Structure 1
Amino acid sequence: MAEQNVITSMLDDLSQEQPIHTALCIGQQIDQNASIQWHHFNVTDFLSLPFTQRYDLGFVLFDTDEMQTINDTQKAQLLVKLRDLMAKRIVVVSKLSDEKLLRSLGFTQLIDKTAHDSDFALWQFNILTYKHVPDWFNSKFWANPENWDKFRW
């Protein structure tokens, strides 16, 4: 029951940042929020699913019995397809042993693993906050329009 409360409060927090209308869940059937249209898939169905739409949220539970049977390659394929094609934002509930895979795919940790004694971690990927744009990456430092009539390049 506590897990459902955590998922509900997390969905409320994510909805406040960006509206969530459609969500994709892999690993377990979740229907926590009635305002969100949920679509559930198992791993094999999802990996063979053609791209038809981009969902607002992808929710993956690596801590279920179904997910224990897949290997790291299938986990990486699932996350990459979800990240690159299917979802704008992804939340992953995983074991601590999946940290290396998730970090290598650009996920950031939501719950510090040292703050609890359980073998789980909560990760997210949001394309809007994935990379901070550096100050030098703008037209001010590239085109130099103030020098167009002064120097011959």
Structure 2
Amino acid sequence: MSEQNVIASLLDDLTQMQSLKTALCIGQDIAQYDLNKKIQWQYFNASDILNLPFTQRYDLGFVVFNDDLNRRSQLERGQIIVKLRDLWAKHVVVIAPQGDDAFMRSLGLTRIVDDALQDSQQTLWQFNILSYKNTPDWLNSKFWANPENWNKFRW
């Protein structure tokens, strides 16, 4: 029951932060937790997502590790999340078992700190391309090819 409340509040928070119109879910159909009913949901199981050709990019991808996903090898689970992260969705949220911390970090996901899921032995992870990596100060035109400085300074 607490998982349902966490999913509903997470979806509410995500829709307030950014405009979400389309979303897909893998593992469990969570369209019922969208209380505002503003998001157009599509549900896929793990086998479908691995074999589907790319047709459109979604605003949100939601993965819930259920029995079907937990039975799959770590390679297949990684392929599902990577395909979702790189191709299908702008923002990815994953509900995974607690023992998968190193695996989730290796896929570029960051942990969402939430006390509500501690009782259920699951953790929340996310990947948002907009906040994945901040641009460092040195990566700008000031420090790179400046034709006006050629033949003035010796490196």
For normalisation by structure 2, the TM-score amounts to 0.88
Q: Within 1, Cα distance between the matches of 2:63 and 2:153?
A: 56
Structure 1: segments with no counterpart, 5+ residues:
none
| Higher percent of residues as helix | 2
Q: Within 2, Cα distance between the matches of 1:24 and 1:48?
A: 15
Letter in 1 for 2:75: T
Q: Which residue of 1 aligns with 2:5?
A: 5
Which string of whole-angstrom CA distances, capped at 9 and with x for unpartnered residues, describes residues 96-121 of structure 1? 121111100100000268x9354111
1:64-79 equivalent positions in 2, closer than 5 A: 64-79=66-81
Equivalent position SS for 2:58: coil
For normalisation by structure 1, the TM-score amounts to 0.89
Identify the match of residue 62 of structure 2 among 55, 59, 63: 59
**102-111 or 67-76, which moves further after superposition?**
67-76
User: Could you list the runs of 4 or more consecutive aligned residues of structure 1 that deviate by over 6 angstroms after TM superposition?
Assistant: none
Q: Give the superposition deviation at 1:144.
A: 2.9
- Give the fraction of aligned pairs with identical amino acids, expressed as a percent: 59
Letter in 2 for 1:49: L
| Higher percent of residues as strand | 2
Of the two structures, which has the highest relative contact order with CA contacts closer than 8 Å and spacing of 6 or more?
2
1:4-153 equivalent positions in 2, closer than 5 A: 4-31=4-31, 32-33=33-34, 34-62=37-65, 64-111=66-113, 116-148=118-150, 150=152
Structure 2: segments with no counterpart, 5+ residues:
none
Q: Within 1, Cα distance between the matches of 2:102 and 2:154?
A: 51
Letter in 1 for 2:59: D
Pairwise CA RMSD: 2.1
Which string of whole-angstrom CA distances, capped at 9 and with x for unpartnered residues, describes residues 4-62 of structure 1? 22111111111122111000100011112211000000000110010000000000001
